[in-house]
Amino acid sequence: MTKPGNSFRVGHDQFSKVVPIPHSGASTSRKCADAAIEWVGTQQADQPLFVYLAPSMPHDPRTAPPETQAKYDPAKITLSKNFMPEHPFDNGELEIRDELLAPFPRTPDAMQRHLAEYYACITDLDHHVGRVVDAFKAAGRWDNTVVVFTSDHGLAVGGRHGLMGKQNLYEHVKPPLVLAGPGIPKGRSAALVYLYDLFPTLCDLTGVPVPPGLDGRSLAPVIQGEKAGVRDALFLAYRDVQRAVRDERWKLIWYPKAQQLQLFDLSADPDELTNRAGDPNHAQELERLSALLRGWQREVADTAPPPPLKTP
């Protein structure tokens, strides 16, 4: 049950059954769930299953069923603390399609309307994911199934930092990651992970040998409480216009074309509102993270200009 277009078709072709479901507005999530439920119901109970369910919602155009949309009154929606009418400088990608879904400068009314549509689509998706869960329970598979809920990206919908889309490296672009199933205790973790860590993680959770040569690292030790994390830092990139590195507390964003640096203390400033890059009291963190980012760029042969090593 996949979204055609920008999907990994070679990988999809390895599945025994592929059901391409184009983005079709309010019915998209329901169609994906219907296809999954129908297929699960035809499988023998003693056969293992791997289902990749990839509805395109809440992708725009964000249209939910009327009864779901009616649950969200735009006037009652609170905008985030980092709402801004416009981004404070040119981040290198301000005129891409996601950002053109609403006019500049952003207005509270427009952003509340977009958020109401966004929340309604998420609520509808949640409902249909629940239907798939019920289908696994009805098939007697639930107690032996590992579920992963995640996405390919997050969005700045609502004018966060004056933005609307995914073409930035702020913390509002952070996919959800929920794992549940046998042997997975309830709880939360602040471990730094990449989505490609899921491959070895699922291998470990299902008793499948982890293939050699993977870049991903299994999160099984984190899930079982044996380790607090498997990475000390994450490196992030968007085209040739943005680079970032973050650890548990600090984050550096570098804009090569704009020659701009942002340094955020995520523990005290999770909304990334106070740029510490020019603060001499944090020069050591700025230089440390700049060196980390430059090292990563050398390692992967990144062609984007590196950040300066010294405090601006």
Q: Assign 145 to helix, strand or coil.
A: coil
Q: Are 274 and 139 within one domain?
A: no
Q: How far apart are CA 160 and CA 106, in angstroms?
A: 10
> Does the residue 194 lie in any domain?
no
Q: Are 146 and 254 within one domain?
A: no
Q: What tokens were used for 283?
A: 């020069």
Q: What tokens were used for 197?
A: 């860590």
Q: Are 46 and 175 within one domain?
A: yes
Q: How far apart are CA 100 and CA 110, in angstroms?
A: 13
Q: How far apart are CA 132 and CA 53, in angstroms?
A: 10
Q: Are 139 and 64 within one domain?
A: yes
* Interval 202-240: pLDDT, tens: 999 999 999 999 999 999 999 999 999 999 999 999 999
Q: Which CATH number covers residue 167?
A: 3.40.720.10
Q: Are 240 and 184 within one domain?
A: no
> Does the residue 67 lie in any domain?
yes
> Does the residue 166 lie in any domain?
yes
> Does the residue 178 lie in any domain?
yes
* Interval 119-136: pLDDT, tens: 999 999 999 999 999 999
> Does the residue 4 lie in any domain?
no
**With the CA atoms of 62, 173, 122 and 111 taken in that order, what torsion angle do they form, in degrees rounded to the nearest 10?**
-50
Average of per-residue pLDDT across 243-261: 97
Look at the chain and report how many structural domains it folds into: 2
Range of the domain at 248: 234-299
Q: Are 140 and 260 within one domain?
A: no
Which residue, among 286, 234, 281, has the nearest Cα to 264 in the 3D structure? Answer: 286
> Does the residue 83 lie in any domain?
yes
| pTM for the whole structure | 0.93
Q: Which CATH number covers residue 269?
A: 3.30.1120.10
* Interval 142-199: pLDDT, tens: 999 999 999 887 889 999 999 999 999 999 977 889 999 998 999 999 999 999 999 9
> Does the residue 305 lie in any domain?
no
Q: Are 163 and 16 within one domain?
A: yes
Buried b (16+ CB within 10 A) or exposed e, 241-263: bbbbbbbeebbbbbbbeeebbbb
